[in-house]
């Protein structure tokens, strides 16, 4: 698991909100304080528009046995960071769901990765960040970082979620950002990677 003011926040009087029927408007996320203590649930679209609402999220870094990381390109239909490259999936747990359970669910939904392909899913870090995505919305998250190494790297990506995939050497990616700049990495992944090597 960054915009300037959300055009989504509104339209002129008498006009329908263009995002009112967006799928995110039908979901909730968990609002949290800076220490990741739950503050109730909030509408997912509300959490990602205007100045945003701080909420719980996760990103999972998926590796193979050669220490390569799987970069997954977000589908072009995503509201925020469409067509950007993530390492590897990012989302939000729902109320009552652990980060590990939410991650396991998203790995299977987005990439077809099932629990029998790994046995070391673990939380390795947590940080807060806020980033605006021009004219579309904002991410303001307390983001847990999870890692997993695939014993079996078979993938079955959902085209509605994933635009492309690329295995890269993780250390080389970190040490040579200029070589990968054209990929346009998601901000939460860049933060997670920078902290990983600090």
The catalytic site residues sit at 141
Secondary structure (3-state) at 42: strand
Q: Are 152 and 49 in contact (CB under 8 A)?
A: no
How many helices (H) and strands (E) the chain has is answered by 5, 9
Largest CA distance in the chain: 57
Q: Which two tokens stand for residue 110?
A: 């987005």
Of 5, 98, 95, residue with least CA distance to 48: 5
Of 135, 136, 146, residue with least CA distance to 189: 146
């Amino acid at each position: 698991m960054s915009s300037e003011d959300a055009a989504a926040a509104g339209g002129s009087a008498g006009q329908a909100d263009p995002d009112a029927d967006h799928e995110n408007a039908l979901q909730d996320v968990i609002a949290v304080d800076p220490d990741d203590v739950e503050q109730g649930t909030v509408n997912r679209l509300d959490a990602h528009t205007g100045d945003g609402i701080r909420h719980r999220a996760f990103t999972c870094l998926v590796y193979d046995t050669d220490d390569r990381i799987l970069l997954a390109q977000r589908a072009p239909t995503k509201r925020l960071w469409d067509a950007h490259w993530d390492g590897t999936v990012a989302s939000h747990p729902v109320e009552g769901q652990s980060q590990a359970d939410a991650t396991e669910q998203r790995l299977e939904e987005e990439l077809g990765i099932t629990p029998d392909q790994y046995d070391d899913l673990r939380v390795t870090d947590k940080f807060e960040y806020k980033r605006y995505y021009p004219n579309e919305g904002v991410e303001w998250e307390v983001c847990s970082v999870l890692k997993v190494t695939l014993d079996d790297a078979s993938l079955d990506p959902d085209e509605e979620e994933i635009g492309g995939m690329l295995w890269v050497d993780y250390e080389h990616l970190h040490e040579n950002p200029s070589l990968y700049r054209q990929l346009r990495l998601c901000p939460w992944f860049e933060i997670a990677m920078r902290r990983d090597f600090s």
